Chains A and B, each alone.
Chain A
Amino acid sequence: GNSVTQMEGPVTLSEEAFLTINCTYTATGYPSLFWYVQYPGEGLQLLLKATKADDKGSNKGFEATYRKETTSFHLEKGSVQVSDSAVYFCALSAEGGKLIFGQGTELSVKP
């Protein structure tokens, strides 16, 4: 079946550090891949997406590349800020419209 696995959190970084959050997936067919972010007390909002192999999604300094050969979609940012503290979810959209999320990774950025 379809599934998403993320690295466990919490991840604690100092401001301006490099961020990587790993995400791998299992899917039949060719899913679209997403990263969502959830700030405290809010719903999830889309951070970036990629719809086919080798696509790179980017937004607000975050990037992720759709790697079909390694079934991965790792999230990266070169220099994190305190305001990036949130929970990050990797997700895939499978055939039939089903949207499946990973377990989420909490990021805490310290000044």
Chain B
Amino acid sequence: DAGVIQSPRHEVTEMGQEVTLRCKPISGHDYLFWYRQTMMRGLELLIYFNNNVPIDDSGMPEDRFSAKMPNASFSTLKIQPSEPRDSAVYFCASSFSSSNTEAFFGQGTRLTVV
């Protein structure tokens, strides 16, 4: 398996534009996590899914952020409209049957909003 695949690796966009980040989890994994990493706030859990269903989205900062998982092999994180303070590295991770198993991380998407 190629691991967790995220795209794009880098995204530069203007304030107010819509941004969509994509993630393909490892085949067979039933948990998918979206994290945001910044120098100021560290690694924050935004939302996670189990079997394609959102379980906890309490970390999603505002209504401008939304995430979907239409099937077991694909998830998106959308920011609309984007703001400069959304600039961060966004990671997707997946795991199999939660608590005792490790989560595998993608390489991340570095988002810059200017």
Q: Give the residue of A32, A45, A102 whose beta carbon is less than 8 angstroms from that of B99.
A: A32
Q: Give the residue of A32, A44, A95, A97 whose beta carbon is less than 8 angstroms from that of B31.
A: A97
Assembly CA distance A67 to B33 (angstroms): 27
Known pairs A43-B105, A44-B91, A97-B55; A31 contacts B99 (CB<8 A)? yes
Assembly CA distance A45 to B106 (angstroms): 9
Tell me whether B21 is interfacial, beta carbon within 8 Å. Answer: no
Bits for A37-53, please: 1 = Cβ < 8 Å to B, else 0: 00000111110010100
Tell me whether B14 is interfacial, beta carbon within 8 Å. Answer: no
Interface size of A by CB at 8 A reads 24
Residue of B nearest to A104 (CB): B42
Assembly CA distance A109 to B90 (angstroms): 27
Query: Which residues in chain B, 2-44, are within 8 Å of chain A measured between CB atoms?
Result: 4, 31, 33, 35, 42-43
The reply to whether B55 and A99 form a contact with Cβ atoms under 8 Å apart is no
Bits for A78-99, please: 1 = Cβ < 8 Å to B, else 0: 0000000000010001111111
Query: Which residues in chain A, 5-44, are within 8 Å of chain B measured between CB atoms?
Result: 31-32, 34, 36, 42-44
Known contacts A43-B91, A99-B95; 4 further A-B pairs (Cβ under 8 A): A42-B107, A43-B106, A46-B104, A97-B55
